[in-house]
Structure 1
Amino acid sequence: MMKNLIPVILMLLTLSANAQEWQPLFNGKNLKGWETHGGEATYEVEDGVIVGKAVTNTPNTFLCTKERFSDFILELQVFLPNDLNSGIQFRSNIRKENDRVFGYQCEIDPDGNRAWTGGIFDEGRRNWLYPLSRNPIPSAFQLGRWNTIRIECLGSDIRTYVNGVQASWLADDMTNEGIIGLQVHSIGDDKAGYEVKWKNIRILTENVAAHRLDPHPQVPQISYLKNQLTDWEVSKGFRLLWDGKTTNGWRGAKLDEFPESGWTIKDGILTVEATDGGESTGPGDIVTTKNYGDFELELEFKFTEGANSGIKYFVDPTLNKGAGSAIGCEFQILDDKRHPDAKKGVMGNRTLGSLYDLIAKEVHSNWRLKGPNTWQKARIVSKNGRVEHWLNNEKVVEYDRFSQMFAALVNYSKYQKWENFGRWPEGLILLQDHGNEVSYRSIKIREL
């Protein structure tokens, strides 16, 4: 008899131990351990539920824990009876000068068109880090019902889940500790009195690794780690295209070696120095020493005010040995507000993220466009003739380089004189010298 009870006893002891590892953050009675920052929205406890009520003419408001957390798993339930945007801050901090909460936010997004609940937004800092445009799995969030949100933080590895479905997977090491906060978003007059509710808020801070869920195989990881690869990236075949320290793997587009001056390497950043604003009139473009056909390229770039530059692919440097840049398809880098090239070309096909002089980027209504002196992400995917441009993890250009439409665009562009332009089986990857200061880091690639 006792022998048969042993497995049951062991199971009960295990469940008891697991239950003890979880700690409530909300006692169900009052807001002890919490404090409000930011705006003037109100928070009250009603029937064991925290109710946040929106107030007009006030900035985002946050009900924040007084305690700070580093590695943890946070679980809670959220209810939105209306389309009031909200979010859950974590590893966040407060600017004392204006009581502004900033840091990672798990988005609560009732917008039926976008549906980015579970995406990661960097409140008051870098904006979107993981928009759900990169996740092929549909959002599991449902308006008008209780939804379970789970946030896992272990070192630089951050994952979010909505109703048990993985929403995001971020690798970022900017902040490793901070408060947790419940957001009531700023509103217009049409949403006065709108509510958002939270309950069953609990956190686990011990044995975090043992309690994490397995990542979904279809959910990609987005990394902001500088000049290094995550285990996930290595498993998917990525390698660093620039090592962050040397010129290995690169040369001048019209040279046998790397340019002697004009390109600098400092603190893991590769920078082309400003000259006269001309196309390849300074140190010149640099290119990879290897050709690529089907590939996925990702990097971060930062341009100065009024700058013009570009990332080129399928480049053949033998086509233009005279003045100007080497020839290839170009992911445009441009200060759209200040550089005159943004108004040239046709219907914006020379703006940031566009396929230069051929296809204008698609501007998304939910975007927060980034300007100069800010790190941004570029991603270029080429496979079986299909090419995509991604700017800050939003797809902005898509085309078939073997299509009749692409051929027609080329025939009416500056590239018409280059036979079979954009259709070569492979080519070099290029970082352009256009006479303005532009910096790069975390350049990585995988062949597809």
Structure 2
Amino acid sequence: MKNFTSIFIICSTVLLFSCAPNRKSQTNTLTKKEINEGWELLFDGKSLNNWKTFNGGEVTGWKIIDGILNNSGVGSDHGGDIISKKQYTNFELYMEWKVAPESNSGVFIHVQEGLTNAIYESGPEYQLIDDKGWPTQLEAHQYSGANYAMHVPQNAKVAPIDEWNTTKIIVNGPHVEHWLNGTKVVQYELWTNEWEAIKSKSKWAEAPHYGMSKTGHIGLQDHGGLTMFRNMKIREL
């Protein structure tokens, strides 16, 4: 009876694990529910077919390693910022990311090409940075989740440096929300008197195209140090 019980436990355990979902296989994929809700993948873990270089063509420098998109980091193969080939107006964007120590990056919305040589002078930026390990003192508007140089994140909690963070960005007309690890950390209204006043006192005061477009590309920054992305998906509202 004891041997039968042991065999039963072993067989049950094998069956349990064989039926359990494969977490790795679920990375960079959409469920049937997400497909029905209108979600589409920006990155499938295998190719960069949905992306191009800002103000350029084919993506260079960026690498796909084990289903994770890595920017070029520090080195001679610096690839530059990239943008989605498709443009989006009103949308919900979701992604997971982590940065290497002392690294800095960002996610841009409503990016337009040909207006400026710098992606950050085109669309607002959701800041990604090594908050705790950055070698110099950060300004309040430079922490992860901020609308960089414009709006300070509130109640933001960043995961430890070796763990993944989740980001959600909602854009609906002038209304924009930044979410970090399940918490809404920034909210603002584009093109209002308040927004214009903040811009006029920021580093974007002399950047006439910053934040002015009502549609555009999604952008990822290649800006000093390594940043990794996965599970990037978007749905139009």
TM-score bucket of the superposed structures, by smaller chain: 0.7 to 0.9
Other structure's SS at 1:232 match: helix
Q: Which residue of 2 aligns with 1:36?
A: none
Unaligned runs of 5+ in 1: 1-67, 73-90, 92-153, 157-171, 175-223
Does 1:230 pair with 2:19? no
Deviation for aligned residue 1:418: 2.6
TM-score, normalised via structure 2 length:
0.85
Q: Indicate conservation of the 8 Å contact 1:263/1:283, yes or no.
A: yes
- Is the Cα contact below 8 Å between 1:285 and 1:325 reproduced in 2? no
From 33, 48, 55, the counterpart of 1:247? 48
Partner of 1:381: 170
- 231 and 406 in structure 1: CA distance in 2 versus 1, 3 angstrom threshold: same
Pick one of 62, 66, 90 that aligns with 1:267: 66
2:203 corresponds to 1:353: no
* Alpha-carbon distance between aligned partners in 1 of 2:213 and 2:14, rounded to the nearest angstrom: 50
For the aligned residues, what is the CA RMSD?
2.6
Q: CA deviation at 1:434?
A: 0.6
Select the structure that is richer in strand: 1
Residues 70 and 405 of structure 1: CA distance in aligned 2, closer, same or farther (over 3 Å)? farther
Check whether the contact 1:342–1:350 (CA below 8 A) recurs between aligned residues.
no
Alignment partner, residue 415 of structure 1: 204
Q: Which runs of 5+ in 2 are unaligned?
A: 1-11
Contact (CA 8 Å) 2:146, 2:152: kept in 1 or not? yes
Flag as ranges the 4+ runs of structure 1 deviating above 4 A.
Answer: 68-72
* Distance in structure 2 (CA, Å) of the matches to 1:384 and 1:319: 22
Distance 1:419 1:325, change over 3 A: closer
| Contact 2:121–2:210 (8 Å) recurs in 1 | no
Q: Which residue of 2 aligns with 1:28?
A: none
Larger Rg: 1
Q: Residues of 1 paired with 2:131 and 2:31: CA distance?
A: 33
Q: Deviations over 1:354-407 (max 9, x none)?
A: 11000110016xx5x313221111110001211110111111111111322111
Cα drift, residue 293 of structure 1: 0.9
| 1:442 paired residue number | 231
Do the aligned partners of residues 309 and 432 (structure 1) sit closer, same or farther apart at CA in structure 2, a change above 3 Å counting?
same
Match of 2:234, SS? Answer: strand
The answer to whether the 8 A contact 2:92-2:170 is kept is yes
Q: Could you tell me which of 104, 115, 129 is aligned with 1:319?
A: 115
- Retained in 1: the 8 A contact 2:155–2:183? no
| 1:392 and 2:181 correspond | yes
* CA distance, structure 2, for counterparts of residue 70 and residue 349 of structure 1: 50
CA distance in structure 2 between the aligned counterparts of 1:435 and 1:382, rounded to whole angstroms: 27
Instruction: Assess if the C-alpha contact under 8 Å between 2:30 and 2:41 holds in 1.
Output: yes
Mapped contact 1:358–1:410 kept (Cα < 8 A):
yes
Q: Which residue of 1 aligns with 2:101?
A: 305
Question: Does structure 1 retain, via aligned residues, the 8 Å contact 2:41–2:233?
Answer: yes
What amino acid sits opposite 1:263 in the alignment? W
Question: In structure 2, how many angstroms separate the alpha carbons of the residues matched to 1:397 and 1:70?
Answer: 46
Q: For residue 71 of structure 1, report the CA deviation from its aligned partner.
A: 9.9
SS at match of 1:332: strand
The 3 A distance-change label for structure 1 pair 71 and 326 is farther
**1:408 alignment partner, SS class:** helix
Aligned to 1:372: 161
Greater fraction of residues in helix: 2
The within-5 A match list for 1:189-208 is none
Inter-partner Cα distance in structure 2 for 1:70 and 1:333: 41
Q: Secondary structure at the match of 1:337?
A: coil
Q: Which amino acid aligns with 2:171?
A: S
Q: Which has the higher contact order (CA 8 A, sep 6+)?
A: 2
Distance 1:71 1:394 in 2: 37
